[in-house]
Amino acid sequence: MHMRTILAIARKDALDVLLNKSTLTLLIMPIILSVLFVVVTDIFGSHKTEILVYNPGNSAVVQVVSGAFSDPQIVSASSPADVASAFGPDGSHKSSPYAVGLVIPANFDAALRQGGHPQMSLYINGDDVNMQQRQLLQSAIMNYSRVVANPSPPASINMATINPPAPTTIGQDLGTLYITTALLVSFMVSTSLVGSLLVEEKEKKTLRMLMVSPASFGDVVLGKLLVGVGYQLLLSLVVMVIEGGFMGQVPLVLFFVLCGACFSLSLGLLLGSIFQSSSAVGGVAGMVSIIYIIPGIFVGPLLQASQGNMAVQLIKILPSYYMADGIYNALVNKTVVSNALLDAIVILGCTAILLLASVWTLRRQASVVAAI
Partner 1 sequence: METNDLMIEAVNLSRTFGNKKAVIDMSFSVPRGEIFGLLGPNGAGKTTTIRMLTGQIDPTAGHARVAGCDVVKERAMLKQRIGVVFEDQNLYERLSARYNLAFSCWLYGLPKRRVDEVLELVHLRDRAKEPIRTFSNGMKQRVMIARALLHKPPVLFLDEPARGLDPIAAREVRQTIDRLRQEGMTILLTTHLMEEADQLCQRVGFIINGRLVANDTPRNLKLSHGQRALVVTLDSVGDVTHNGTLQEVTLNMDDPYDQSRLAQWMAQEKVRAVHSREATLEDVFIEVAGIRPA
Distance between CA atoms of residues 66 and 38, nearest Å: 24
Considering the complex, state which of residue 12 and residue 47 has its C-beta at the smaller distance from partner 1. Answer: 12
Minimum CB distance to partner 1, residue 365 (Å): 11
Minimum CB distance to partner 1, residue 9 (Å): 8
Binding site for partner 1 (CB under 8 A): 4-5, 7-9, 11-12, 15-16, 19-20, 204-206, 208-215, 366-369
Q: Output DSSP code: residue 132.
A: H
Minimum CB distance to partner 1, residue 25 (Å): 15
Minimum CB distance to partner 1, residue 10 (Å): 10
Spatial CB neighbours of 48, under 8 Å, sequence gap ≥ 6: 71, 72, 73
245: exposed, middle or buried (Cβ count in 10 Å: 0-12, 13-18, 19+): buried
DSSP 252-266: HHHHHHHHHHHHHHH
Q: How far is CA 111 from CA 80, 118, 120, 146, 298, in A?
A: 18, 6, 12, 12, 49
Q: Do the strands 119-125 and 100-103 form a parallel or antiparallel pair, or are they unpaired? A: antiparallel
117 three-state secondary structure = coil
Minimum CB distance to partner 1, residue 204 (Å): 6
Considering the complex, state which of residue 114 and residue 213 has its C-beta at the smaller distance from partner 1. Answer: 213
Evaluate whether 220 touches 7 at the Cβ level (below 8 Å).
Answer: no
DSSP 280-294: HHHHHHHHHTHHHHH
Spatial CB neighbours of 26, under 8 Å, sequence gap ≥ 6: 189, 192, 193, 196
Minimum CB distance to partner 1, residue 4 (Å): 6
Considering the complex, state which of residue 16 and residue 71 has its C-beta at the smaller distance from partner 1. Answer: 16
Considering the complex, state which of residue 157 and residue 366 has its C-beta at the smaller distance from partner 1. Answer: 366
Minimum CB distance to partner 1, residue 372 (Å): 9
Considering the complex, state which of residue 14 and residue 174 has its C-beta at the smaller distance from partner 1. Answer: 14
Evaluate whether 127 touches 90 at the Cβ level (below 8 Å).
Answer: no
Considering the complex, state which of residue 221 and residue 346 has its C-beta at the smaller distance from partner 1. Answer: 221
Considering the complex, state which of residue 11 and residue 113 has its C-beta at the smaller distance from partner 1. Answer: 11
Considering the complex, state which of residue 19 and residue 310 has its C-beta at the smaller distance from partner 1. Answer: 19
Evaluate whether 354 touches 270 at the Cβ level (below 8 Å).
Answer: yes
Minimum CB distance to partner 1, residue 203 (Å): 10
Report how far Cα 22 is from the mean position of its chain's Cα atoms. Answer: 27
Considering the complex, state which of residue 85 and residue 213 has its C-beta at the smaller distance from partner 1. Answer: 213
Minimum CB distance to partner 1, residue 367 (Å): 6
Tally the residues of the chain: 372
Evaluate whether 96 touches 123 at the Cβ level (below 8 Å).
Answer: no
